[in-house]
Structure 1
Amino acid sequence: MGSAATSAVTQRVIDEPLREVGRVNGRGRSTWSAVREILAYRQLLGRLVSRELRAKYKNSSLGVVWSLMRPLAQLIIYYVAIGQFLGAARSIPDFAVFVFTGLTVWGLYSEIVNAGTTSIVGNAGLIKKVYLPREIFPLASVGGALFNFLVQFAILVAATFVLGRPPFHVDVLYVPLSIAIIVVLATGIALVLSALNVFLRDVEHLVEILLLILFWASPIVYSAGFVHGAIGGTWLEELYFANPVTLAVLGMQKAMWVAGSEDPTQYWPDFLWLRMLIALAVSFVFLWIGQRVFSRLQSNFAQEL
């Protein structure tokens, strides 16, 4: 009797039509198909973000406080070395707020790119066992980075109140635009790098070097005025201010660094709003390209991992 029942179940499974998962053709899923699939797995995405945060601070007595240690250490180093020893603080009012604003934006970008690059390799065991949209692993890194960013941003806001210069002005509208540029751009880049890192593990080490270069190519520990004074009126200046990360940093400084936004001696590029809107549009293009590259490469992840 048991054998007959087993045979009946087996026959039903054989007769059941096959349903494709993952790639549907050689070019991978369409972008909208990927979005719909990610939304269908949104609860799992939330759990992955929670798991990532718990794993990061597991067995730590200070917990989330550690997310502040690195930027605070950087702030102290740059404030003393560049602000005091090199004299940058004399021409940049509220230098500590200026630097911490830039570090907060940079921290969001670098964490998304760094964590996103290793997200597929780091979840190899799960990827090889079950099918699920692989994009959720880089996206989980985005969620974890946003959590840490919100903690740092809360400290930044508190600091502006303590110093008596809270951002009660219209330029505070630059904040969401800056965040959007960073998140969209970094997510697109993380998708590409996470896929490439599966096939070439040197990618994650190269990313660290490139991020270091990009850090010093952004107005985080020096003002845009220094750049304007050195290469103003040249194509190099236009290239510098075409960088979406640079524009996102400037937008956040314009919003949160009140002493600088109210100081007529500080330099801000013309049409900052327009430049940032263009940067956001370019970032969405990067995101789309990143998803398409990821979709093409993901079919071979299980074999490579």
Structure 2
Amino acid sequence: MALSAAEGAGTNQSGFNTPGQGRGLLEVFRWRYLLRLLVRKETSTRYRNSVLGWVWSYVRPAAQFIIFYLVMGVFLQMARGIENFAMYLFSGIIVINFFSEGFSNATRSLVDNAHLVRKIYMPRELFPVAAVIVSFVHFLPQAAVLLVVALIFGWLPLPMYLGAAILGILIVGLAATGLGLFFGSLNVAFRDAQNFVELILMVAVWASPVLYSWQMVASQVPEWLMLIYQINPLTAGVELFHLAFWDPVTAGAHSLPDNFWTTVWIATAITVAGVLIGQWVFRKIEPRFAQDL
């Protein structure tokens, strides 16, 4: 028998969810099988119909390394001021490349998957998170090259070095995720967000000690500006990679600032806050995704 209007109005609807609403990043763990499919799709199609295939994962960092080494190391003679400059440079480049690729791809991820966003419901956070994970997959071959070179020069896989590397990559990966959520959601409504991201990425290489040492910055800027520089998550991530791979090979030649670990934990807190802010903005704009796409 059909329910009357009164009976229907009194029906308990607590078990129903608002369509298109989830629990944010927490949903990514519940939908991890779909996350794996997205990652697999992106990694398998990235170099489809490409002659070199996965070799392209090495070409870009190799080209960057050669150019920066010649310009900064040879022409500007930075190699004389930084011992084992080649390893110092490469360990910083692969961290910045991971951040740049993850952040850029996460920003475009919703627009690139507009057909899925419009047609079916799934946690939309899956797309930027998958983009960052794919960037991490592309980062691994470069990290393997760094690891082999470090081992040749006498690096030992001690827990403290491994811990520094893991912490560094976590900070950079979370920073890319938080910014990707923020700008990825804005990019749905305002496509010029991608252009703003390109400006950020252009500055990122120079805003962290990849091509130079932190001592050069400390000698030129006041203490308060140096503190801001140090709590930059990219600076923390790059310096942790230097601490993990380059510093042991140079026999401790890399003197750290007195407040190094304090600024690293501050940078970590800033990164976590960035993820929370990015998620909040993402959730605010999410109801308009299908309409704007």
Could you say whether these structures have the same fold, taking a TM-score greater than 0.5 normalized by the shorter chain as the test?
Answer: yes
What is the aligned partner in structure 1 of residue 218 from structure 2?
Answer: 228
Match of 1:274 in 2: 262
Q: Give the Cα separation in 2 of the matches to 1:44 and 1:101.
A: 32
CA distance in 2, matches of 1:95, 1:49: 34
Counterpart in 2 of 1:22?
Answer: 20
Contact between 2:233 and 2:267, CA under 8 Å: does it hold in 1? yes
The 1:261–1:34 alpha-carbon spacing in structure 2 relative to 1, beyond 3 Å, is farther
1:166 is displaced (CA, Å) by: 4.5
Q: Is the 8 A contact 2:96 2:204 kept in 1?
A: no
Q: Which residue of 63, 68, 73 maps to 2:53? A: 63
Choose from 284, 287, 290 the match for 2:278. Answer: 290
Contact 2:150 2:249 in 1 (8 A): no
CA contact (8 A) 1:167 1:255 kept: no
The separation in 2 between residues aligned to 1:286 and 1:169, in whole angstroms, is 28
- Equivalent position SS for 1:103: helix
- The alignment's TM-score, normalised by the length of structure 1, stands at 0.86
1:119-177 CA deviation, whole Å, 9 max, x = no partner?
00000011111111100000110110110111111110011123334554734421111
The Cα of 1:211 is off from its aligned counterpart by 1.0
Aligned residue in 1 for 2:207: 217
% identity of equivalent residues = 37
1:267-286 Cα distance to aligned partner (Å, 9 max, x none): 42223223212211221111
Q: Match for 1:130 among 103, 120, 131?
A: 120
Residues 259 and 300 from structure 1, CA distance in 2 versus in 1: closer, same or farther, beyond 3 angstroms? same
The one-letter code of the counterpart of 2:267 is A
In structure 2, the residue matched to 1:304 is: 292
CA distance in 1, matches of 2:147, 2:239: 17
Paired amino acid for 1:22: G
Offset from partner CA, 1:198-241 (integer Å, 9 cap, x none): 1110111111112111211111011112112222x532212211
Q: How does 1:101-250 map to 2 (within 5 A)?
A: 101-166=91-156, 168=158, 170-231=160-221, 233-250=222-239
C-alpha spacing 1:163/1:261, structure 2 compared with 1 (3 Å)? closer
Matched with 2:7 is none
Return the alpha-carbon distance in structure 2 between the equivalents of residues 167 and 90 of structure 1: 27
Superposition TM-score, scaled by structure 2 size:
0.90
1:10 matched residue in structure 2: none
Q: Is the alpha carbon distance of 1:189 and 1:165 closer, same or farther for their aligned partners in structure 2, counting shifts above 3 Å? A: same
Q: Which residue number in structure 1 is paired with residue 41 of structure 2? A: 51
- In structure 2, the CA distance between the partners of 1:162 and 1:40, relative to structure 1 (3 Å rule), is same
Output the CA distance in 2 between the equivalents of 1:245 and 1:200: 26
Taking the aligned partners of 1:261 and 1:48, their CA distance within structure 2 comes to: 43
How many residue pairs get aligned? The number is: 279
Q: What value does the CA root-mean-square deviation take over the aligned residues?
A: 1.9
Deviations 1:80-104 (A, max 9, x none): 1110111100111111100000011
